[in-house]
Copies of this chain bind each other. A is one copy, B any other.
Amino acid sequence: MTDRVKPRQNTLYVSSLEKGLRILEVFSEDKLELGLTEIARETGLDKSAAQRFVNTLHQLGYLDKNAETRRYRPSLKYLDMAYAYLWSDNLVQLAMPRLIELSRQLQQTINMARPIEQEIMYVVRIPGYRTSYGASVIGRRVPALTASSGRVILSRQDDATIHNCVNEWPLKRYTPWTTMDRGQILESIMVAREKGYCMSLREVLPDEINIAAPICTLDGTPVAAIHCSLPIIRWTMEQAEQEIVPHIVETARSISPPR
């Protein structure tokens, strides 16, 4: 939850739209299906408001209604937005064929992530053998400081920015091995800057090694990262470094978006 910074209430701001969108946004991993009262509670709207907005979204086809339980869930229409985004993101188009080729070559799960606010978001996911469900869904967010993709993107920023982010940005514990020590995270980022890639162990999933390399524009601005997950039972860090890293780094390097 961001602490409700009320966007200045000028006449160019339509707060009805904001409220409606709050309802679209309320559904998540642990809120798959909600009744009217729950929606009201979760969005901070009163019952009447929730009623009106939910009704509107239902009529427009954004929310499916279970006639028996009278609860609502996101409809297929949500995916129209994914399509619009993916089609408008040149980097995705540019990267896609190379990511497919890479996944075929390595026979491993390959992802592309982009920074957003203080997190990274998965934009492309090509599942390998035995990819967990959560790891195959686009739109997933992970705190930038926790994800190897996030760290390697940060590693291309200047010192001041890095220090600032490492101190300010949020962390989230995913496994018993998730690093919660900001000093260690800084260290990890500095190693990534040195080497040009970032490796991590059991940070997000308990049985995975992660390897990430940055995608930068010509002027060096980091705009995304390629990221590979390896099962810990079949790979050591050393093997991964020798056999996988060069391919990830090279593929990332070969993708150079304009601007």
| A contact set with B: CB distance below 8 Å | 7, 11-21, 24-25, 27-29, 32-33, 51-53, 55-57, 59-60, 62, 73-88, 93, 96-97, 100-101, 104, 114, 116, 121, 123, 126-131, 133, 136-141
Contacts and interface: CB of A to CB of B under 8 A. Distances in A.
Contacts of A21: 20, 60, 62
Nearest to A134: B87
A51 B139 contact: no
A126 B126 contact: yes
A136 B138 CA distance: 12
Given A17-B56, A27-B88, A100-B131, 5 more contacts: A14-B56, A21-B62, A73-B88, A79-B138, A83-B141
Given A7-B59, A17-B57, A18-B56, A85 B79 contact: yes
A172 to B, nearest CB: 16
Given A126-B126, A127-B100, A137 B16 contact: no
Contacts of A76: 85, 114, 116, 121, 123
B88 A32 contact: yes
Nearest to A120: B76
28 contacts: A7-B59, A12-B55, A12-B56, A13-B55, A13-B56, A14-B53, A17-B19, A17-B53, A17-B57, A18-B56, A24-B81, A25-B80, A27-B88, A28-B84, A32-B88, A74-B85, A76-B114, A76-B116, A78-B82, A79-B138, A80-B141, A82-B139, A83-B138, A83-B140, A83-B141, A97-B130, A100-B129, A100-B130
